[in-house]
Amino acid sequence: MRTVDLSVNWLLYGLFLLLCVSLFSLKPMFESAAMALSVLCYVLLAASIIPIMLAILDKRFVHIDRAGISYSLGFGTHYILSEDIKHMQRKRFFLLTVLQIELHSGGVKSFYSWTLSDAGFVRAEQLLASK
């Protein structure tokens, strides 16, 4: 396997959708804040459904191989060359896994809402180290 593909964190998006449905069901209880809850529900729903649809259509992805990292957030593919990568680390916060790429230029690129197994992370580090 020459490429490590990060997968969508379905559990995180499922939690977002559950939160959206919960907030929407609470709307009748809080009539004074009904409009604010409706707006929050629709924003949360859009923030969940749009990335899910883009991932299903393969328009949103993160691939790691020897050449570096290629990723798309839905509108065009971007590349980070392996020569530009200084360090890669993974941080976990409850259901959120953040892959952070530190660049030699001092910048940091973070990838949210993706999952990567321990074995996949080790494989990605090996691929990037074999420049």
Strand order in the sheet with 77-81: 4-5, 60-65, 68-73, 77-81
Residue 39, pLDDT score: 85
What is residue 131's predicted lDDT score, i.e. its pLDDT? 63
Q: Are both 120 and 73 inside the same structural domain?
A: yes
Run of H or E including 39: helix 34-56
What does the DSSP 8-state code read for residue 111?
E
Separation of alpha carbons 102 and 12, rounded Å:
24
This prediction has a pTM of: 0.80
Range of the domain at 17: 8-56
Q: What is the pLDDT of residue 1?
A: 58
Question: What are the residue ranges in the chain where pLDDT is below 70?
Answer: 1, 131
- Tell me which H or E stretch contains 108: strand 108-111
List residues bridging with 91 in a β-sheet: 98
What pLDDT score was predicted for residue 112? Answer: 84
Query: Looking at residue 101, what is its pLDDT?
Result: 93
Other CB atoms closer than 10 Å to residue 125's CB: what's the count? 16
Same-domain status, 63 and 40: no
> Do residue 31 and residue 44 come from a single domain?
yes
Residue 3 lies in a domain: no
101 and 118 share a domain? yes
